[in-house]
Structure 1
Amino acid sequence: MDTHHITDVWDRVFSAQPGPSLWLVIVTGVLALGAVIPRTAWRLSRNAVTIAHEGGHGLVALLTGRRLDGIRLHSDTSGLTVSRGKPHGLGMILTAAAGYLAPSLLGLAGAALLGAGHTTALLWGATVLLLAMLAMIRNAYGVLTVVLAGGTFLLVSWLTAPEVQAGFAYAVVWFLLLGGVRPPFELQGKRRRGGPVDSDPDQLARLTHVPAGVWLGFFHVVTLCSLMGGGRWLLGV
């Protein structure tokens, strides 16, 4: 590969692109909302949130010095991330807290990139993250899900026109911001009905002696604030 080609690829990925029209931003937001609100659509689209959720656990585990043993994604949209290290301490706390926050924080970071005009960088960055996650997947359904997601990002970023790339990127970021809000509310409803006692907030309660309800409230605050802040960036207001 000659230096001219490398420069072309670099410019393509990291140069800023013109922002889309406001109508496209609004339409992609409505489409994302349609993937989050209806229960039938959510049963399918929630798989993408699970990828972000478990990827958040895995990434923070690595960043805090824990050993990541593997990630499993299941067809019922649940997932499991296994890491080794001290069963207590800041690293374990951050790892446990990362899951419910990851989709919204990824959406917020994506909104910042799109607000700065870096559509292609967002698409390629997402592809790299998915490829890195693929190396840690330990079941067939998880491999299939991540390969399909990563392949979609790669094909859109490489083969489609800038307008299509922008529409896809905005739809994905809107979905992460909106989709990140729903799981904490779902978990809250399950807890009211006497649901799971081994959820992330319950683990955090045992690690920190702070009630699980407080952690759940923290998840609500972060996901809703991310939606508001990211939405402002996307809309350019």
Structure 2
Amino acid sequence: MQTSSGAKLDFGRVALLLLFLGAGWYFWDSPVLWPLKVLVVMVHESGHALATLLAGGSVDRITLAANDSGACLSRLPSSMMAQVAVYSAGYVGSALAGAFLLLATFRFRLRRLVLFVACVGLGVMGVLYAGDSVTLALCLGTALVMGLAAKYLPDGGVDMLNLFLAAFTALYVAFDLRSVLGHGATSSASDASLLANLTPVPSWAWAGIWSFVSLALLGLFARWSLRAARPEGLGHSLISSRR
């Protein structure tokens, strides 16, 4: 399998990514995956929080619930464009988090560092913005697990964990589309519905757009990141052949 530039993709990693995507989709409602769902919900809400601060607003608190829901309560600027950006930032944040996790792990070999940075970021967001003790405990507990994984897992284990987290984070956006299309009570409070209230674009279209963007980003960064390592000495042989 080759990219357009001729670089070969690591078929094993690509197959593993597809396997994780399929497993995440199939077992999404399994209680076994509940801790990961809490993590991606926090990533989603953190995207809202960061966008709010960048737009000049302020964040009051973030709350997570045991039913996999979350909320970022903030004071937004009056500009419609700023509000659209903030409401979209949960989707964008989830997509970019998964994409950059792939890039840092497999392109730049920063597998442990990126996991440790995620651990610290999750802990800081919990301490600064957790709206209740449950949210704080979930953030700190998940951050602790990620920190221990970054320190003690072997390199291959960290690679697999980061790959799975990248796939799972990207899937979160797609499942919001399922929520909008299939659960009226849930969809009324979704980001897609908030965007629909601000614009002529319906909620299902917003969810579809961000689902497509999320999976497209994952595919693009996977194509860039999951290349097979070049054999030792290949560069020297190419240079010597031109003499």
Give the TM bin, normalised by the shorter chain: 0.7 to 0.9
Alpha-carbon separation, structure 2, partners of 1:195 and 1:186:
7
Does 1:90 pair with 2:81? yes
Shift of the 222–90 alpha-carbon distance from structure 1 to 2, 3 Å rule, reads: same
Larger CA Rg, structure 1 vs 2: 2
Alignment match, 1:218: 209
In the alignment, does 2:44 pair up with 1:53?
A: yes
- Cα deviation, residue 37, structure 1: 1.8
Mark the runs of 5 or more structure 1 residues left unpaired by the alignment.
1-20
Aligned in 2, Cα 1:42/1:230: closer, same or farther, shift over 3 Å? Answer: farther
Q: 1:127 aligns with which of 115, 119, 141?
A: 119
* Aligned counterparts of 2:12 and 2:213: Cα–Cα separation in 1: 27
Which AA in structure 2 matches 1:62?
L
Q: Number of paired residues?
A: 215
Distance 1:204 1:178, change over 3 A: closer
Q: Is the 8 A contact 1:50 1:79 kept in 2?
A: yes
Matched, 1:111 2:71: no
**What's the counterpart of residue 146 of structure 1?**
139
Residue 176 in structure 1 maps to residue 176 in structure 2:
no
Query: How far 1:218 sits from its partner (Å)?
Result: 1.5
Confirm or deny: 8 A CA contact 2:181 2:187 kept in the other structure: no
- Structure 1 residue 112 displacement after superposition: 1.6
Provide the C-alpha distance between the structure 1 equivalents of 2:16 and 2:30, rounded to a whole number of angstroms. 20
Separation (CA, whole Å) in 2 of partners of 1:89 and 1:158: 44
Q: Which is further off, 172-181 or 75-84?
A: 172-181
In the alignment, the residues of structure 1 paired with residue 80 and residue 143 of structure 2 have an alpha-carbon distance, to the nearest angstrom, of: 33
* Residue in structure 1 matched with residue 189 of structure 2 by the alignment: 198
Deviation at 1:136, TM superposition (A): 0.5
How many Å apart are 1:118 and its aligned residue?
Answer: 1.8
CA contact (8 A) 1:32 1:172 kept: no
**Cα distance change on mapping 1:42 and 1:190 into 2, 3 Å:** farther
For the aligned residue pairs, the C-alpha RMSD in angstroms reads 2.5
Matched, 1:34 2:6: no
Secondary structure at the counterpart of residue 180 of structure 1 = helix
Counterpart CA distance in 2 for 1:53 and 1:42 is: 20
Using the size of structure 2 for normalisation, the TM-score is: 0.77
Deviation at 1:146, TM superposition (A): 1.0
Q: State the partner residue of 1:100.
A: 91
Q: Does 1:72 align with 2:81?
A: no
Normalised TM-score (structure 1): 0.78
Quick one: which amino acid aligns to residue 30 of structure 1?
A: L
Query: Which runs of at least 4 in structure 1 moved beyond 6 Å after TM superposition?
Result: none
5+ residue gaps, structure 2: 1-9, 229-243
User: What amino acid is the match of 1:160?
Assistant: L
Question: Which amino acid in 2 is paired with 1:132?
Answer: V
**SS of aligned partner of 1:229:** helix
Letter in 1 for 2:37: R
**AA paired with 1:50?**
V
